């Protein structure tokens, strides 16, 4: 494990791999890692280390997470569009058959779970499932392969698994939450207010208690949706990093580390698929609840 300044300790190696490539504005007068001072009025730049990321504050942008997530979204659109253009009445084969199986699986899940009528839900569920799966799939790439290659090109930090970034998972969850509120209001109208204020205790005296419990439950949905995906993928990535760190311990640890890496990767295939499926199903369930007009 080597860095630009020489050998890294295991803790430095782990911290390096968990640091995003971050772009933001450093405040004026801030002393940077190389001894330079940020001029008056601040400076927009790439961060070097956790201290500079913290100094940038809320407006900092995780460039790597954005680029990988958007890139994988474009890859999904291109792959499925190419299959749609090849689709015919003949018996499908190869990649076309696989994509049709995925579409049919998602469509059946929506039919079994969603109890309203909305043509947006099935395409949304398909997009979420495949997009989240592709982001999770990046976790199976060896942790040093792409970051080390980019480091040789001058890019010091690189996290290639977007779903290990809470900004990405919570951003998707908030998008689902906005759709929940939109359909709850458009489908139920004033009934949505009654649902919040008169459940579970159907009496005017309990309206404050009902509102508190229902609003807390409503806000808990996007948090649980986003943090569940982030927590599981972050833990999986951490285990890959810890196993990779074993290679630097000594020659005797290389074979056990390789076996652990292969074993965890095989098990992780189930994890990344399951997490994509859970995110999709919960999205369908939440939007189905938003369409239920009591």
DSSP annotation of 92: P
248 vs 270, more confident? 270
Q: Is 210 a catalytic residue?
A: no
**Looking at the chain, how many residues does it have?**
294
Give the model's pLDDT for residue 3.
43
Give the model's pLDDT for residue 292.
79
Three-state secondary structure along 169-197?
HHHHHHHHHHHHHHHHHHHHCHHHHHHHH
Under a CB-based contact definition with an 8 Å cutoff, are residues 17 and 143 in contact? Answer: yes
- For residues 97-101, give the mean pLDDT: 88
Give the model's pLDDT for residue 5.
46
pLDDT tens per residue across span 211-250: 899 899 999 999 999 999 999 999 999 999 988 888 877 7
281: preceding bond cis by omega (within 30 degrees): no
Query: Comparing C-alpha atoms, which of 283, 277, 281 is closest to residue 112?
Result: 281
- For residues 70-91, give the mean pLDDT: 87
Q: What is the pTM of this model?
A: 0.89
Give the model's pLDDT for residue 188.
85
Beta bridge partners of 189: none
Give me 96's structure tokens.
Answer: 């076309």
Q: Which residues contact 8 (CB under 8 A, 6 or more apart)?
A: 1, 2, 16
Distance (Å, rounded) from C-alpha 243 to C-alpha 237? Answer: 10
Q: Is 32 a catalytic residue?
A: no
3 vs 93, more confident? 93
Give the model's pLDDT for residue 4.
45
Under a CB-based contact definition with an 8 Å cutoff, are residues 43 and 25 in contact? Answer: yes
Distance (Å, rounded) from C-alpha 247 to C-alpha 1? Answer: 9
pLDDT tens per residue across span 2-49: 444 456 788 888 888 899 999 999 998 888 888 889 898 889 999 998
Q: How many other CB atoms sit within 10 Å of the CB of residue 105?
A: 13
Lowest mean pLDDT among 30-39, 109-118, 187-196: 187-196
Residue-range domain boundaries for the chain: 1-59, 63-291
pLDDT tens per residue across span 192-208: 888 888 877 887 888 88
Residue-averaged pLDDT of the chain: 88
The 8 Å CB, 24+ separation contacts for 34-42 are none
> The tokens 């999709």 sit on which residue?
280
Q: Is 194 a catalytic residue?
A: no
B/e letters for 201-238, b = 16+ CB within 10 Å, e = fewer, are eeeeeeeeebeeebeeeeeebbeebbebbbebbbebbe
Query: Which of 118, 167, 199, 228 is an active site residue?
Result: 228
Give the model's pLDDT for residue 2.
45
Under a CB-based contact definition with an 8 Å cutoff, are residues 20 and 64 in contact? Answer: yes
Give the model's pLDDT for residue 86.
79
In angstroms, the Cα distances linking 84 to 91, 92, 95, 108, 120 are 14, 12, 11, 19, 18
> The tokens 């601040």 sit on which residue?
42
Question: Residue 117 above 90 pLDDT?
Answer: no
Question: Residue 294 above 70 pLDDT?
Answer: no
């Amino acid at each position: 494990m080597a860095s630009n300044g020489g050998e890294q300790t295991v803790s430095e190696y782990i911290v390096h791999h968990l640091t995003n490539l971050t772009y933001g504005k450093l405040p004026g007068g801030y002393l940077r890692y190389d001894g330079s001072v940020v001029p008056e009025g601040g400076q927009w730049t790439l961060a070097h280390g956790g201290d500079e990321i913290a100094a940038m504050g809320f407006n900092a942008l995780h460039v790597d997470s954005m680029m990988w997530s958007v890139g994988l979204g474009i890859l999904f659109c291109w792959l499925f569009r190419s299959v749609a253009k090849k689709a015919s009445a003949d018996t499908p084969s190869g990649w076309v058959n696989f994509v049709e199986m995925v579409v049919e699986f998602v469509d059946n899940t929506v039919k079994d779970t969603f109890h309203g009528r909305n043509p947006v839900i099935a395409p949304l569920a398909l997009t979420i499932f495949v997009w989240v799966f592709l982001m999770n799939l990046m976790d199976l790439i060896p942790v040093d392969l792409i970051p080390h290659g980019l480091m040789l090109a001058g890019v010091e930090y690189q996290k290639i698994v977007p779903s290990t970034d809470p900004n990405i998972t919570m951003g998707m969850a908030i998008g689902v939450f906005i759709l929940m509120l939109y359909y709850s209001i458009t489908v139920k109208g004033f009934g949505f207010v009654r649902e919040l204020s008169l459940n579970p205790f159907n009496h005017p005296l309990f309206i404050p208690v009902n509102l508190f419990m229902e609003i807390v439950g409503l806000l808990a949905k996007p948090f649980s949706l986003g943090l569940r995906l982030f927590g599981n993928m972050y833990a999986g990535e951490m285990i890959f990093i810890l196993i990779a760190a074993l290679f630097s311990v000594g020659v005797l640890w290389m074979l056990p580390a390789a076996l652990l890496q292969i074993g965890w990767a095989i098990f992780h295939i189930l994890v990344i698929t399951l997490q994509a499926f859970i995110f999709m199903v919960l999205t369908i369930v939440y939007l189905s609840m938003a369409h239920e007009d009591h």
